Amino acid sequence: MKKKIALVALAAAAVCAHAADWSDTSIAYTTGNHYAEPFKSNSIAKNIYSLKNVSGDKYGQNFFNVDMLQSNSEDKGASSPGGAQEVYAVYRRLFDLQKITGKSYAFGPVKDVGVTAGFDWNTKNDAYGSKKRMLVAGPTLMIDVKQGFFDISLLALSESNEPNQIGGNANTTGRYHYKNHADLSLAWGVPTGVTNLGFEGWADFIATKGKLEDTTSDSKMETHIYAALMYDVSSTVGASKNTFKLGGGYEYWKNKFGNDASNTTQFGPGTGAFAKTPFVKAEYHF
């Protein structure tokens, strides 16, 4: 899997090397008090620092986002009573078939069709010590909306992890590969009809992925929805449109990472596998 991730990263770098027709880079700060982690609390405070770049070229679009997450002591680090730190990176490449072939693929509400490929990568310094690696690929339908975008993808996921611990004991078996599984993925960014107010976010409806790494627990279907209302405040500080945005939203994450949120037994993942998190967010585009 490490070799596969490296190859995908190299391919992503090669694609990004093409001159972009347009590009948007932003940094953001998000905070909330009700994040959750399996086998832990569902009232974890986190500060999240993000770097994102979205660009388009003659073949399609690139999306890259890296989050740096700082938890409070409800989600402890492995070697200190302070909160854990995590880095989570996502890359997606959308190959736009109309741009590549010069032909129209529109039908019904669909204005274009593409193919999405990419990866997720994370590392975290808590006792569990997640080292998630995931490759994704599948078709994407681009829905015809008056402004903004709304994309629907059906992705195949190839996921593995090599945590420090499995079931509270040291991991002696190495990297564990889950069963390949499907993800119905939505992404959107559209105006609301209120001047300067946009509605953006994404949702993943992820199928079960076989046994979890303890090899005895069955994974559960995962639902992860992130939705935010962001208000463009650029004009109030004399900046150009869409430079500064303030807002907030809600994150809903049931059966986080495939863990059964209904299993509230002594050693089960419990309510920490079900996050219902209001948050506030500030974003600067440059």
**Mean pLDDT per 10-residue segment, the chain (286 residues):** 44 54 97 97 97 98 98 93 95 98 98 98 97 98 97 98 94 97 98 97 98 96 98 96 98 98 94 98 98
Structure tokens at 123: 């590392």
- Cα–Cα distance for residue pair 169/129, rounded to 1 Å: 12
The whole-model pTM stands at 0.92
- Cα–Cα distance for residue pair 231/244, rounded to 1 Å: 8
Return the ∠ at Cα 275 (arms to 271 and 278), rounded to 5°. 140
User: Residue 4: its pLDDT value, please?
Assistant: 45
Query: How far is CA 216 from each of CA 20, 205, 210, 212, 271, rounded to the nearest angstrom?
Result: 47, 23, 10, 7, 20
User: Residue 9: its pLDDT value, please?
Assistant: 45
User: Residue 18: its pLDDT value, please?
Assistant: 55
Domains and CATH numbers, the chain: 2-285 (2.40.230.20)
Dihedral angle over CA of 110, 114, 117, 122, nearest 10: -30
User: Residue 13: its pLDDT value, please?
Assistant: 46
Name the residue with tokens 């996502």. Answer: 90
User: Residue 79: its pLDDT value, please?
Assistant: 85
Structure tokens at 51: 């770097």
User: Residue 109: its pLDDT value, please?
Assistant: 98
